[in-house]
Amino acid sequence: MPPPNQLEWLPCPNGNAFYNQMLRNWTTTDLTADDIHQIGLDEVARLHAETEAIKDRVGFSGDLSEFFASVASDERFFYGNDDDGRQRYLDESTEYIENMKALLPQYFGILPKADLVVKRVEAFREQDGAAAHYFASSPDGSVPGTYYVHLSDMSANPVTELEAVAYHEGLPGHHMQIAIARELKSVPAFRSQASFGAYSEGWGLYTELLAKEMGGYQDPYSDFGRLVSEMWRAVRLVVDTGIHAMGWSEQQAIDYFASNVSTPLPSIVSEVRRYTVLPGQATSYKIGMLKIQELRAHAEEALA
């Protein structure tokens, strides 16, 4: 019998074929599990090097794991778990988004008609530590898009990650992409409403980096938060394929995750179990981002 609270892996008839199909569905590519696993390992190594550079920039003398622990335990990187702290989080998120609104015309030719607002998740559905999310605007632009954030437990919302999440869920992330699509009049309605994981989440993750080119992350600790966010998505490539194609146990997946991010163990266990029941979904973010970067490089070369 497996240990308490540990999942037991059972053989799945045609499991490999099923997983390969899930990878095709979620990434919209023909990348194999081996391909995606190696991409994940390469990206984890690259992001570790970038994080080391920030650690050195802020003058931290310990190793990377000690740096993670220091940031995770430093009170200056968390707002108070009270009404004032929650309002500060909302206000600062709104300020980043308002600043981004002013910059968008310099980078994009088409902008959403619908506005974007930042709100706390309603009490009846709020959960400690649950992920922030975007709720789409109306097709006619009369109802704004909403960037929702769970604030019942402020320890789950480090200030270091606030800026990157605002860009991902708001502008130039999900709202920029989804609102424009919904407002299109030149395509059938089903096309303006369609959603593809690699495209939507790939774009959201890509815009976290794009925002840096646009002048974001002036505080190196916010840039550290951006790298932590991207590292999560790189680790997902390794863990998802490890579980579903390489025979990893749940504990192997948890151990790999824990060795590469500074996230509390309960959150890591929850993440690993999410990947277990949603084969391939977790790979869409980073694969989508990489494809968008590839297409941008191709366009820049062609237009040079």
Can you tell me whether residue 76 is helix, strand or coil? helix
| Cβ–Cβ under 8 Å, residues 67 and 60 | yes
Query: Which DSSP symbol is given to 3?
Result: P
Q: Categorise residue 165: left if φ over 0, alpha if ψ from -120 to 50, beta otherwise.
A: alpha
Q: Give CA–CA dist 113/102, Å, rounded.
A: 14
b/e code 187-220 from CB counts within 10 Å (16+ = b): eeeeebeeeebbbbbbbbbbbbbbbbebebbeee
List the pLDDT tens digit at each of the 304 positions of the chain. 444 455 555 667 788 899 999 999 999 999 999 999 999 999 999 999 999 999 999 999 999 989 998 998 899 999 999 999 999 999 999 999 999 999 999 999 999 999 999 999 999 999 988 889 999 999 999 999 999 999 999 988 999 999 999 999 999 999 999 999 999 999 999 999 988 999 999 999 999 999 999 999 999 999 999 999 999 999 999 999 999 999 999 999 999 998 898 777 777 888 899 899 999 999 999 999 999 999 999 999 999 9
